[in-house]
Structure 1
Amino acid sequence: MIYLLITLYVLVTGFIKPAPIASTEIGKGIHPSVGMDEHGTAHIVYGQGEVLYYTTLSMDNQAESTVRLDSLPGLHLGASRGPQIAVSNQSVVIIALDKAGNVWAYSQRRDTRKWQKRIRVNDVPDIAKEGFVALTAGPDNSYNAGWLDLRNNERNKLAGARSTDGGRSWSVNTILYQSPDGTICECCQVSAVSQGKHVAFMFRNFLNGARDIYLIQSTNGGQSFGTAEKLGQGTWPLKACPMDGGGLAIGPDGIISTVWRRADKLFTAHPGQPEVERATGKNPKIAATRKGDYIVFQQAGQLWAILPGQTQPVSLGPGAYAKLTRFTNDRVLCLWEQEGTIRATMI
C-alpha cells in the first residue's frame, strides 16, 4: 500500500519525496539573506520583529555567535521582503528597509569586524514603501543596490545607488528602469548579481498588460546600465501582482542563470535564449556551479530542489523563501525560514 501511494504521488506531482534532508537551525527569525566571501565563509542576515541579526557559517557547518546588529523601527519583513547582504574582500554590507520607505545600509570592515552606524541610501526620503531591495558586491570594495522606488510620480520604478567605499557612503540615486506604461510590478522582489565589472539586476516588469521578468546589465561595475531585456519567449498577461521575483545567479564561467515563475510553472533561461520549463511551484532561487545549476522552490508547503543533471525535484522538507549561495568547492548552501526559525543545509 505504501509503495502504491508513493507511486501515485510521483505520477500526479512529478516529484520524488524522500525523507527530508538534515538541516541546522541558525536562529529565530524570518527571511534570511546570504553572501559568500573568498575564504568560503557564508555571511547571513535575517530579521525578527524589528531586530536585525548577523552571523557566519563555514563550509564545515561551524557557526559563530549571532550578533544583534540593530533594532530598525518599522523593519520591512514578510512576503519576500527582508534585509539583504553582500560581501567583498574588505567589507560586509547589509541593506534593510523600513515601512516608511527608506533604504538603510550597515557596513562592517572585515579587518576590524566593527559595524558602522546605519546610513540612509535613498536621497529622497520615504520612496521605497514596497520594501523590496537587492544588493551585490564588486571586487574593488564597491556595492550596487537596487530597489522599487516611487519618486516623482508615485509609480514604482527600479532605482539604484552605488558605493565605492565598502558601503560607508552612497552615490546620488539613479533611475535604472521605468516602464513606459507607468510602473513595474509593485510587489515582486528585485535580484542582483555581479562578477568583476559585470553587474545585473532582475525584476518583474508590467508592460503591455504582462508581468514578465526583465534583466538589466552593466559592464562597468554599475556606473551605467544597458537596455532592459525580457527573459524567455512566452508572456504572462496578469492584472494582479504575483509577489514572486524569481532567482538570479552568475556562474564561475560568467554566464548568467535565471529562474522565474509564469502562472504556476517555473522556467529557467540564460539571457537571449529560450526558456526551459522545470517544475510547478513558486518563489524559486538558483545557484550556478561548474556542475550545473541548483534550483530550490516552494510547492505545497514544502521546499524542493532540482540538482544538476536531474529533472525530478527532491524534497528538502517543510519551509519557505529559500536563499542559495555557492561555496568555492561548488557545494551549495541553502537557507530558508521554517515556523519562525532560520535553517540551513548543504545540497
Structure 2
Amino acid sequence: MNFFVTCFLLISWLAGSEPISRQIGKGIHPAVATDAAGGVHVVFGRGSLIFYTASRDGETFSMPVRVDSVVGLHLGASRGPQIAATAQSVVITAIDKPGNVWAYVLNRKSGQWQPRVRITDVPDIAKEGFVSLTASPDNVYNAVWLDLRNDKHNKIVGARSTDGGHTWLPNRVLYQSPDGTVCECCQLSVVSQGKRVAVMFRNFLNGARDMYLLKSEDGGQTFGKAEKIGKGTWKLNACPMDGGGLYMTPNGTVSTVWRRENKVYTARPGQPETELGEGKNAKIVLTEKGEYVVFQQAGQLMITTPEQTQPKAMATGAYPKLTVLPNGRVLCLWEQDGTVWARPI
C-alpha cells in the first residue's frame, strides 16, 4: 500500500518496559479502527481540517496526511470525524455545522482519498454533529447519527453502504423517543461483528437520561426494540454530553461503559451495572483476558485492566479511544493540549 511509504513518525514501544506515550500529530478528537489484517487507522481534526494516519502494527505510524478541509467541521466536545476499515476499504465520516454527514473512501492502491459523498439524504439535518461508523468483513458499512428530520426532534437515523462507502442506501429512522427526542448532545456508538450490529445511545424518557441499546442480526437492515442498559436511572433536565463506549467481540458479546451522574459504570445487556469510580467520557474493549476501560477523571486518564481492576492514572488527557490489535494487545489514543497521543496498554 503506497501510503505507507511516506515518511514515518516513529512511535515505538520499548519491549519489556513500561509503555511510553508518543505523539501522533497536532489535532484533537482522534478516532481509531483496526482492520482484519491488524492495520490500525486513525483520523483526527484540526480546525476545519481532517487528518489520517495508519500503522501496520500499532507501533509505527505514517505521517498524518490531510484528507479534506470542511468549512464548519463539527469538532470538539465528543464531536469529530469517525473511521472504520475492512480488508478492502477505509472510510471516514464527518459532519459540517449546517448538518450534513459526509463519507470519504480511501483508494488503497493509490493511497488517495476519493471526493466526499453525502450520506444524509435530507440536507442540513444532523445539526448536533454526532455520527458513529462501523464496518463488517463483507465490506458493508453502517453509519448512525442524531437527526432532526420530520419533526425537528433528535432521533437515531442510520444508513448502510454495501460497496465500501462509495454509495449509501436511503436513510432510515432506527429509533424515535415516544417523549419526543433522544438526548440531544451525547455521542452515540455503533459496533458490528459479522451480521450483528449494535447501537448505543442516551435516551430521554420520563425525564431520565439513561443508556439504551439497539441490536440487529441482519447486518443493520433491521433493528429490534430499544433495550435499557443497567438497572439504575438518571433523572436530569439537561444533557450531560457524554455518550460512553460500546464494544462487541467476534462471538457477539456486547460490553458497555457509560456515565450516570458523576460515576462511570460497565454493564452487559440485561445485567446490573458495575461501578468503576468517578469520571466521564469512558471507552471499553474486551479481549480474551477481559475488559479494558479508560475514562477521564479530573484531567487524568484512568485505566482498568483484567490485571488492574481498580482505576489507575495512565496519562494526562481527554476523550480516549481504544482498539484491539490481532495479538490481543490494546492501543489507546487521546488528545492533550491540541496534540493526539497513543500508548499501548
Q: Same fold (TM over 0.5)?
A: yes
Aligned partner of residue 25 in structure 1, secondary structure: strand
Which residue in the other structure is 2:41 paired with? 43
2:328 aligns with one of 311, 326, 330:
330
* Corresponding residue for residue 251 of structure 1: 249
Separation (CA, whole Å) in 2 of partners of 1:285 and 1:237? 23
Counterpart in 1 of 2:151?
153
Displacement of 1:111 after TM fit? Answer: 3.7
Which of 219, 222, 225 is the equivalent residue of 2:217?
A: 219
Query: What percent identity do the matched residue pairs reach?
Result: 63
Count of residue correspondences: 328
Contact 2:155–2:176 at 8 Å: present in 1 too? yes
The separation in 1 between residues aligned to 2:54 and 2:210, in whole angstroms, is: 35
Gaps of 5+ in 2: 1-17
2:58–2:325 contact (8 Å) kept in structure 1: no
Partner of 1:176: 174
Q: Contact 2:58 / 2:331 at 8 angstroms: preserved in 1?
A: no
How far off its partner does 1:62 sit?
A: 1.1
1:137 aligns with 2:129: no
Q: How does 1:218-297 map to 2 (within 5 A)?
A: 218-297=216-295
Q: Residues 205 and 212 of structure 1 are in contact (CA less than 8 Å); yes or no, is this contact kept in structure 2?
A: yes
Shift in Å at residue 41 of structure 1? 1.5
User: Which runs of structure 2 are paired with 1:311-322 in the superposition (5 Å)?
Assistant: 311-322=309-320
1:276-330 deviation per Cα after TM superposition (whole angstroms, max 9, x unaligned): 1112100000011111010000001000100114321111111000000000111
Separation in 1, partners of 2:107, 2:90: 7
Q: Is the 2:301–2:318 contact (alpha carbons within 8 Å) kept by the matching residues of 1?
A: yes
Residue type of the alignment partner of 1:281: G
Counterpart of 1:11 in structure 2 is none
Q: CA RMSD in A?
A: 1.1
Tell me what 1:107 maps to. Answer: 105
Give the Å deviation of 1:254.
2.2
Contact residue 252 and residue 288 of structure 1 kept, 8 A: no
Which residue in 2 is equivalent to 1:76? 74
Structure 1 position 112, deviation (Å): 3.8
Higher mean Cα deviation, 53-62 or 86-95?
53-62
Q: Which position in structure 1 is the counterpart of 2:5?
A: none
Q: Which amino acid aligns with 1:291?
A: K
Over 3 Å counting, the alpha-carbon distance change for 1:327 and 1:178 in structure 2 is: same
For 1:198, the equivalent position in structure 2 comes to: 196
Shift of 1:67: 1.2
Alpha-carbon deviation of 1:252?
Answer: 3.7
Q: Which residue of structure 2 aligns with residue 163 of structure 1?
A: 161
Gap change, CA 1:253 and 1:309, over 3 Å in 2 = farther
Corresponding residue number in structure 2 for 1:117:
115
- Paired with 1:114 and 1:25, the residues of 2 have a C-alpha distance of 24
Q: TM-score of the superposition, structure 1-length normalised?
A: 0.93
Question: What is aligned with 2:13?
Answer: none
Instruction: Measure how far apart 1:60 and its partner are.
Output: 5.5
The alpha carbon displacement at 1:21 in A equals 5.4
CA contact (8 A) 1:190 1:245 kept: yes
Q: Kindly indicate whether the alpha-carbon contact (under 8 Å) linking 1:246 and 1:259 is maintained by their aligned counterparts in 2.
A: yes
Q: Does the CA contact (< 8 Å) of 1:90 and 1:111 recur in 2?
A: no
Mapped contact 1:121–1:161 kept (Cα < 8 A): yes
Question: What amino acid sits opposite 1:134 in the alignment?
Answer: S
8 A Cα contact 2:229 2:270, kept in partner: yes
How does the TM-score come out when normalised to structure 2? 0.93
Once residues 123 and 66 of structure 1 are traced to their aligned partners in structure 2, the CA distance between those partners, rounded to angstroms, is 31
Amino acid at match of 2:138: D
Shift of 1:155: 0.5
The one-character-per-residue Cα deviations of 1:167-219 (angstroms, maximum 9, x if unpaired) are 00001100000000000000000101000000011000000100000000100
Contact 1:90 1:109 in 2 (8 A): no
Distance in 1 between residues matched to 2:250 and 2:118, nearest whole Å: 33
In 1, are the aligned partners of 2:40 and 2:58 still within 8 Å (CA)?
no
1:3 corresponding residue in structure 2? none
Q: Distance in 2 between matches of 1:197 and 1:113?
A: 29
Please give the alpha-carbon distance, in whole angstroms, between the structure 2 residues aligned to 1:113 and 1:317: 33
Cα-to-partner distance string for 1:67-105 (whole Å, 9 max, x where unaligned): 111001100000000000000110000000000000000
Where does residue 87 of structure 2 map in the other structure?
89
Q: 2 CA distance for matches of 1:262 and 1:346?
A: 28
Instruction: State the partner residue of 1:17.
Output: none
Deviation, 1:61, is 1.1
Q: Distance in 2 between matches of 1:232 and 1:60?
A: 33
Against the structure 1 CA distance between its residues 58 and 230, is the aligned structure 2 distance closer, same or farther, given a 3 Å change threshold?
same
